[in-house]
A and B are shown apart, each in its own frame.
Chain A
Amino acid sequence: AQTVTQSQPEMSVQEAETVTLSCTYDTSESNYYLFWYKQPPSRQMILVIRQEAYKQQNATENRFSVNFQKAAKSFSLKISDSQLGDTAMYFCALRDSNYQLIWGAGTKLIIKP
């Protein structure tokens, strides 16, 4: 069975600091995608970043970047220069050939002023 594990239920950092959220996954497939989604207090689910498993280069979107370690099945999210608006639940998700997104339990990130 495919699984996604987020081992940090909650994290908090000061504004402008850098924070890294962890995600590990398990799949037997060679072709898959990984995603980070953000869910702010509004509960809207927002795509943050995606990574194709066949790409070795780590994805980057402005202040958000990932550290994709395929052999270790690790997919961490780094947020640089954190802002108050980054306060949210962050979900890691794995998408495989069955077209389903398998979700982690989420990490609650609090950015303190």
Chain B
Amino acid sequence: DSGVTQTPKHLITATGQRVTLRCSPRSGDLSVYWYQQSLDQGLQFLIQYYNGEERAKGNILERFSAQQFPDLHSELNLSSLELGDSALYFCASSVAGGFHEQYFGPGTRLTVT
């Protein structure tokens, strides 16, 4: 158990809908990262937050947005969902925003039908 929690574990929704994925980092970690892993592929970095502020942006679509709240939990919002958005979405956290290793949550499996 990494100490990072993600909810829900599974999500099934229809095209065009909007969903929110939630992540709670390990106690004491200030940085949260979001990744997308499509079937049988590597991870794609989406976005990073550090202590409430956006720190880095990767291949995140405009239909996707995220935020980190004062209690350091983070939410990833996915809107106007398409079939291709079906994937495993991971949240990871680290102590700070530097070179510290990232600890991953169990992921949320999103299926868009």
Whether B104 pairs with A46 at a CB distance below 8 angstroms is: yes
Q: Which of A32, A50, A98, A104 contacts B42 (CB 8 A)?
A: A104
Whether B103 pairs with A47 at a CB distance below 8 angstroms is: yes
Q: Which residue of B lies closest to A108 (CB)?
A: B40
Number of A residues contacting the other chain (C-beta, 8 Å)? 24
Tally inter-chain residue pairs, CB-CB below 8 A.
55
Whether A101 pairs with B41 at a CB distance below 8 angstroms is: no
Quick one: which of A65-111 are within 8 Å of B by CB? 91, 95, 98-106
A33 at the interface (CB under 8 A from B): yes
Whether B42 pairs with A105 at a CB distance below 8 angstroms is: yes
Q: How far is the CA of A99 from the CA of B46 in the complex (A)?
A: 12
Q: How far is the CA of A33 from the CA of B41 in the complex (A)?
A: 22
- For B99, the chain A residues whose CB sits under 8 A away are 31-33, 52, 95
Whether B88 pairs with A100 at a CB distance below 8 angstroms is: no
